[in-house]
Amino acid sequence: MIETWRWFGPLDDIALPEIAQTGATGIVTALHDIPYGEIWPREAIAARKAMIEAAGLHWAVVESLPVHEDIKRGVGDLDRLFANYRQSLANLAAEGITTVCYNFMPLLDWTRTRLDAPLPTGGHALRFSQVEMAGFELHMLQRPGAEADYTPEVIAAAQAWADGADEGERQRLLTAIMSGLPGAYDRYDVAGLRAALAPWAGFTADDLRASFARFLAEVVPTAEEAGIGLCVHPDDPPRPLLGLPRIVSSEADIAAIMAMQDSHANGLTLCSGSLGANPANDVPAIAARFADRIHFAHLRNVAKEPDGSFQEAAHLEGDTDMVALVAALLDEDRRRAESGGRAIPFRPDHGHALLGDLGRKTHPGYPLIGRLRGLAELRGVIAGLGHRA
């Protein structure tokens, strides 16, 4: 398996020489400055690749080559958007970058309600509170029909939260939820989010699946020809959110997507945190079932709560059996080594903000020391399993 590290480009507060000191050799990044739906020019890809290689690293994975919202909704000039996506894939392959992560979540990417949940020993973690999310939907966004998505107990607790939340607390919650928006750095206020949600009214999970099937039909042949492994990232959280459908949340969802295009180019980003937030998911079993279609792995852990809340845990301390999961990935990695296939790139995903991370302006969930702890723990698991083998 290949140790990688997510880097958000030249604006990232964590510099490439710091990443080199972690021991990771691969960089996971994207051309974040290019608007969704536009072509990634080969020259821009080459320039970013050269920047990474100058630090003694290599560009291992694209995360992400974004899918335009019009593709997800099935509206607009789709022929142009599909052509641009195919050209971007070809340009990446021409520069030797052949693992491309993407997601198919409508409008929002990952969503949390708190970016700085305190830890008992100091530091902080990302957290998703079902009560705070309900408080946001019912009392701030005032989304029609939102009551149907929450239990009576959560609705009552959300009312209590709303009764006690001052303007600062409400703004903190909005900021946390908006921090998961993909792409550049635009953020919505409540009115702006209502407007952004409006075009999705009445859009169903079946509608989204139809859009996904068309997307794969349009781009997988190009990926096959270019030798690219496309790998969809699961939903985070793995459930409908803000009235928007989500269709990459369970083992059955993944099986359906893999069947849409039965091709090695149509693969999976195995995210143990996203899948692990769904109580129905057995993440090591999912890894074993879809092992040959896993092109990339995000390794992190979450601790779930009965009401649907969850918090980012230390990599070896959450609900997912990380040792069993890594063992499944190593089994596949050995199989690929014997058959001449590619090793699986993985990265320590998210991490607690610890020690010198506190106060540093890094992306939420992507501190230096917290992720370095996670990488060290995962490296130890891999070494131990390798010794046992």
298 among known catalytic residues: yes
102 among known catalytic residues: no
**Which of these is catalytic: 68, 124, 315, 350?**
350
Concatenating the DSSP letter of every residue in 328-372 gives HHHHHHHHHHHHT-PPPEEEE-S--B-GGGTT--PPTT--HHHHH
Quick one: which of 45, 32, 34, 3 has its CA closest to 20?
A: 3
271 among known catalytic residues: yes
Angle between helices 205-226 and 78-94 (to 10 degrees): 40
**Which of these is catalytic: 233, 295, 315, 352?**
233
Exposure b/e, 204-222, CB count within 10 A at least 16 = b = eeebbbebbeebbebbbeb
- Helices marked H in 261-321: 272-276, 283-289
**Which of these is catalytic: 85, 102, 150, 366?**
366
Exposure b/e, 299-331, CB count within 10 A at least 16 = b = bbbbbbeeebbbbbbbbbebbbbbeebbbbbbe
Q: How far apart are CA 197 and CA 193, in angstroms?
A: 6
In DSSP terms, 353 is beta-bridged to: 124
| Residue labelled with tokens 């305190």 | 118
**Which of these is catalytic: 102, 271, 333, 357?**
271
Q: How far apart are CA 72 and CA 195, in angstroms?
A: 17
264 among known catalytic residues: no
307 among known catalytic residues: no
Quick one: which of 231, 243, 259 has its CA closest to 345?
A: 231
Bond before 64 cis per omega within 30 degrees? yes
**Which of these is catalytic: 101, 349, 352, 357?**
349
Q: Is 375 helix (H, G, I), strand (E, B) or coil?
A: helix
349 among known catalytic residues: yes
Q: Is 143 helix (H, G, I), strand (E, B) or coil?
A: coil
Q: Is 310 helix (H, G, I), strand (E, B) or coil?
A: strand
Question: Could you tell me the two tokens for 70?
Answer: 């019009």
Helix (H) or strand (E) holding 267: strand 266-271
**Which of these is catalytic: 298, 333, 352, 357?**
298
CB atoms within 10 A of CB 185: 7
Q: What are the residue numbers of the active site?
A: 233, 271, 298, 349-350, 366
